[in-house]
Structure 1
């Protein structure tokens, strides 16, 4: 698929296998953009074909160039703050970075200005991009690793759908207490809030669906190094699930781990997904600097 950025426009040349499509079917069927976003794009005359405004139900042909006003000058939604970031992938539509431990993904209060989102806003500012910082998923403050942010609403909408459809694959490394006997396993237990503890979560039949797959990599003395993949992304999911079967994460004192590390031994080491607009396969590997055995 041939695409390019021209100023504020995203240009898409329709490939030969896109037959009998219209602007409507591209937005609603192919990209499955939300109705509110589609309506906004229509009202603001954001889309042209071969440089001209046309009816959105008019059939298009392979080779036609669809021009979408995606790259608008918008105010940063978080204050740009200087901070070092490691960029794993970046283009006009999204950025993937390696989050260090000890940093929140995004502000939780208006006076939070030292979060990963603030650092990314500064990065965009230094590159002359005035775009929002739209997180697709989160990592706990003391979890490190790869995390995806969109740069504009259409990219976010498509990435949100890919996440919901489980087409964004996230692989974690975790060190747990005890020697895990099974070579691999799946934990499918719903997770809800712990009404006795403000920040904790727990396995609860009234909670949200949560599915965690784990695979044993190697034993390390009295601990086990695991590779973990998520089908869902609940708050503290890996920490809750591993603790629930008797293998809490090393360093995770909130869920029964011992303080053998300065933080919970959990790192998002890999993320792979199809690009929201070009459909290119993207894979990002993130190194873990403070706990290198998780890389």
Structure 2
């Protein structure tokens, strides 16, 4: 498979600098492309160090790879798909990627099976991950080049993720920002904690609706960073752990913790347009009666 990129910038640099700095092709893949002799500019073999011109057409091969990890037939809920990426609606209770060598039932295993059925010769690349009990929109790349570009977009915060969380207690402030570093908890292998020596973590939140009778609050959240358990740790640090999240101090018990990746906005690789998807809120998100109410958002 070959994809074509149209040079739209004024006074573009050389081919190698254009692919590396403007498209986001990593060093290893750039070398592989160069050695393949299959890259063309205006259907001719290019001189990689010569400047491009606005309007040039760059043709890039997409190399076939061995599909991995082990494929498993799992029902997938597809929110969006094109030739470069796949956005799924993940159920709570399934890992994003295998939790161990002998785990063949993660979402990544299911995508590997789907790739084989669709004759997509590529290893599975999840661009971000969701905790096992977190549901909602999750992004996968279909080949190495789109994976590299999407990784770069995520790092540059151009991929926007919006979450919904049902938290214990009535949150007093209508909105706010939590800027507290997060590190590992040395007393609990799977737990994270606020730590002055941890990684920078920034979460923005706003109250969507309060449920005084149940003493719960529905909160919308956006992340500037993507630390492990970030929302769970940050909301717990405010005294409002997620409903059902006993690992971080919730008093309530539930089949899952109430966190849902609600919306996802992605700049489409190779095109000047964006993709926006909304993942329906599942009925097991919170208490049954509240979930029916929240589902109407």
TM bucket by the smaller chain? over 0.9
Among 122, 132, 136, the alignment partner of 2:127 is 136
> 2:268 is matched with which residue?
275
Distance 1:202 1:76 in 2: 36
Q: CA deviation at 1:61?
A: 3.1
Distance 1:82 1:32 in 2: 33
> 2:151 is matched with which residue?
160
> 1:95 is matched with which residue?
86
Q: Are 1:75 and 2:70 counterparts?
A: no
Distance 1:138 1:56 in 2: 36
Report how many aligned residue pairs link the two structures: 286
Among 251, 257, 263, the alignment partner of 1:258 is 251
Distance 1:177 1:258 in 2: 8
Q: CA deviation at 1:52?
A: 1.9
> 2:27 is matched with which residue?
35
RMSD of equivalent CA atoms: 1.5
Which segments of 5 or more consecutive residues in structure 2 lack a partner in the other structure? 286-290
> 2:58 is matched with which residue?
66
TM-score by length of 2: 0.92
> 2:230 is matched with which residue?
237
Among 40, 62, 86, the alignment partner of 2:77 is 86
Q: CA deviation at 1:60?
A: 2.9
Q: CA deviation at 1:18?
A: 4.5
CA contact 2:92–2:135 (8 Å) conserved in 1: yes
- Which range is displaced more, 257-266 or 213-222? 257-266
Q: Are 1:172 and 2:163 counterparts?
A: yes
TM-score by length of 1: 0.92
> 1:54 is matched with which residue?
46
